[in-house]
Amino acid sequence: MTEPTGKPSGLSAREQPQKSSITSEQIVRAAALADLEFSEDEAALMLAGVSDNLAKYAQLRSVDLPNSALPAIRFDPQTPAPIPASPRRPVSVRPHKLPPLPDDLEDLAFWPVTHLSTLVRTRQVTSRQLTEMYLARLKRIGPRLECVVTLIEEPALEQARRADEEIAQGIYRGPLHGIPWGAKDLLATKGIKTTWGATPYKDQVIDMNATVVERLEAAGAVLVAKLTMGALAWGDVWFGGKTRSPWNTEEGSSGSSAGSGAATAAGLVGFAIGTETYGSIVSPSTACGVSGLRPTFGRVSRHGAMALCWTLDKIGPMCRSVEDCALVFDAIRGPDGYDPTVIDAPFDWPQRADFSKLRIGFVEDEFAEDRPTKALDEAALEVLRGLGAELVPIKLPDYPIDAAQIILWVEAAAAFDELTRSNRDDLLVRQSEDAWPNRFRVGRMVPAVEYIQANRLRMLAMQAMDDLMADIDVYVSPSLGNANRWLTNATGHPLMVTPTGWRENGLPATILFTGRLYDEATVLAVAMAYQEATEFHLAHPKLEE
């Protein structure tokens, strides 16, 4: 018997996508089978989504899934238990020639962590001074960008006082010691509201700190604000408004790490933490022109973070430079015993890119497409060639991976099952076909078989990516467009977002560097080499005071 190849095949007549004849009445009746009650209006809003799912099922069925194809879901018989962090080699800041200390402390607002940490370590500037400066900017500029949910003033000043006291005593915790930062408001903070950006949860207080919050506190960083996020991690609209890009306040900052991108770009925090399931670090990093690292799935514990999609959610830093991302990533990575997906993989930094030894790919067909950033994308490739990189044309795996997006909708529907059943989803600001309340309902209509088949297709894509990455170390792709962004979210690969210039509407443009699983060091090194050969990351928006 010949084992099927797993490659896409032709569709049978029965499986060909047909124009949907589904009716609202059928959806209402189908919902009753799951003991759910949808109104006629809600069912009508679901029609397009349910029909789109039918097309995705046809795509899934176009792939010959061999019996040996496992679903991309793992069962772990061990229940999570806290474990101590493993010993690690401290990551230090490379020597930098700093500009002269400005007379006006606020001129430090846009300095990267690499520079700020040197000032704090050498006691040229105190953590309290930095904290007071950023708090003042958060109060003054934050409302204009609609990027702050909760200002954390007194606890931040106390953390800063403690940092200054320790440093004066010769106790230095590392490059984040005394540096003010902002948290996406899905990270739990004990005694401080964690709203998830959504009206039903706007007064929620979770009695714990997320692991990421604990680790940054242990590193001496100073939490100054909980930053906005699109409601339940979609877009830039939250219960208090729409977060704006500081480069063009007529435009949204994109999402869902909306406030993290806007506040970092606007010089309101030293750095921020974002999360990504589909594009929630990549997209706001692009709209706001910051450097964002989406680590390998399973690198950073999500304990204490809002769950949206257990097999896709990732946490990463959003900073003003690639090197800053490396410093923050090192502080938050590694297992904690609570999130069983996290592994203890090495992170060798600082690292320099040796282009004579690296194979750098570029996604040929994506660069050939006509897009608003085409000239900037091609210019970025020329910079890499100028650095000595031999760019190898590559093609992404040839699977209908978009069909696997039903994984996200199903898991999200499960994560917010109670919200849907209680009808409190009506409290969310966005109520449209392409918004969470409707997506949660549509997700409930996906058959369990199709969810498993989507995960088996995902496994084939993961194996194809293994084959691709066996021949290259890193590859480059444009940030506008979903092909690589969704594919690598589904396969769990690390990705670095780096500014490349500006679009006609005044918003920044970026390029994406994708690397091998658990090899953030090489991705960061290549992106840093590009960044040091350009000056796009050094620019900052001219905010009218």
pLDDT score of 14? 43
> What is the enclosing helix (H) or strand (E) of 156?
helix 154-168
3-state secondary structure of 226: strand
- The residue extents of the domains of the chain are 105-343
Q: Per-residue pLDDT for 3 more than 90? A: no
Catalytic residues: 184, 256, 280
pLDDT score of 4? 40
Q: Per-residue pLDDT for 8 more than 70? A: no
pLDDT score of 543? 87
pLDDT band at 529 (very low <50, low <70, confident <90, very high): very high
pLDDT score of 19? 55
pLDDT band at 17 (very low <50, low <70, confident <90, very high): very low
Q: Per-residue pLDDT for 20 more than 80? A: no
- Residue pLDDT, tens place only, 479-494: 987 799 999 999 999 9
Segment 320-331 mean pLDDT:
98
3-state secondary structure of 426: helix
How far is Cα 334 from Cα 493, in angstroms, rounded to an integer?
16
Q: Per-residue pLDDT for 105 more than 50? A: yes
Fold held by 105-343 = Amidase signature (AS) enzymes (3.90.1300)
Segment 10-38 mean pLDDT:
76
Segment 223-251 mean pLDDT:
98
pLDDT score of 10? 46
How far is Cα 111 from Cα 264, in angstroms, rounded to an integer?
11
pLDDT score of 6? 62
Of all residues in the chain, the percent with pLDDT exceeding 70 is 94
- Higher model confidence: residue 18 or residue 265? 265
pLDDT score of 339? 94
pLDDT score of 211? 97
Q: Per-residue pLDDT for 97 more than 90? A: no
Of all residues in the chain, the percent with pLDDT exceeding 90 is 88
pLDDT score of 481? 75
pLDDT band at 135 (very low <50, low <70, confident <90, very high): very high
Alpha helices in 89-152 (DSSP H): 113-121, 127-145
Q: Other C-beta atoms within 10 Å of 138: how many?
A: 26
Per the listing, tokens 């069962």 go with: 75
Which residues fall within 8 angstroms of residue 539, CB to CB, at 6 or more apart?
289, 499
Two tokens, residue 278: 């589909």
How far is Cα 487 from Cα 477, in angstroms, rounded to an integer?
12
Before 350, cis peptide (omega within 30)?
yes
Two tokens, residue 347: 């992170």
- Residue pLDDT, tens place only, 232-245: 999 999 999 999 99
Looking at the whole model, is its pTM more than 0.85?
Answer: yes
